[in-house]
Amino acid sequence: MVVTEMSSFSLLCILALLLVIGHVANAQNSRADYVNAHNDARRQVGVGDIVWDNTVASFAQDYANQRKGDCQLIHSGGGGRYGENLAWSSGDMSGSDAVKLWVNEKADYNYNSNTCASGKVCGHYTQVVWRNSQRVGCAKVRCDNNRGTFITCNYDPPGNYVGEKPYLLEQPLTCSGNTRIILSLT
């Protein structure tokens, strides 16, 4: 009887541990985690918040499922409707870590010239903060044969139009009598 009780207790402990590990593994992969990571970056440049959209998320999940077999960073084309950011990691990666990876490209973006630093990529960052993008949907899959993690976020409406800046900087001017005027620079 003691052996059975000990085995049951051990099994219960193992199941509890697996439940905790599963919960931790899913941390920072919720809709709110994706949206909050986007909005933190958007607020830094004065762009309105983006919201989660189930239709966009469904598109993202369908495409992530297609990439699960090879996990190559090949763009879907957005079905002609959506902008898209992709991320891959050889191990596990949270959704918020993927967004942070894209946002880190800010260091390579020059707002004044609206270009990336020579030899650098910054289009993922500009899509995250694109002023006209209002809805986002993201998906994450573990690649087959333990080949890593694939994450995609899609944006509606899309951004990254050639010749357009992702956001407009506002420059306050102070005139006589403490009158303030806000100019939007393009």
* Structural domains in the chain plus CATH codes: 27-156 (3.40.33.10)
Residue pLDDT, tens place only, 57-100: 999 999 999 999 999 999 999 888 999 999 999 999 999 999 99
* Residue-wise DSSP of 49-106: P-EE-HHHHHHHHHHHHHHTTT-------GGGT-EEEEEEESS---HHHHHHHHHGGG
Q: Is the pLDDT of residue 183 over 90?
A: no
Residue pLDDT, tens place only, 101-150: 999 999 999 999 999 999 999 999 999 999 999 999 999 999 999 899 99
> pLDDT value at position 34?
98
Q: Alpha carbon 26 to chain centroid distance?
A: 15
Helix (H) or strand (E) holding 6: helix 2-25
Which range has the worst mean pLDDT, 23-32, 42-51, 64-73, 79-88? 23-32
| Confidence tier at 179 by pLDDT (50, 70, 90) | low
- Residue 165's Cβ-count burial label (10 Å; 0-12, 13-18, 19+) is middle
Q: Is the pLDDT of residue 168 over 50?
A: yes
Q: Is the pLDDT of residue 20 over 70?
A: no
| Confidence tier at 181 by pLDDT (50, 70, 90) | low
Give the global pTM.
Answer: 0.78
Tell me what the pLDDT averaged over the chain comes to. Answer: 85
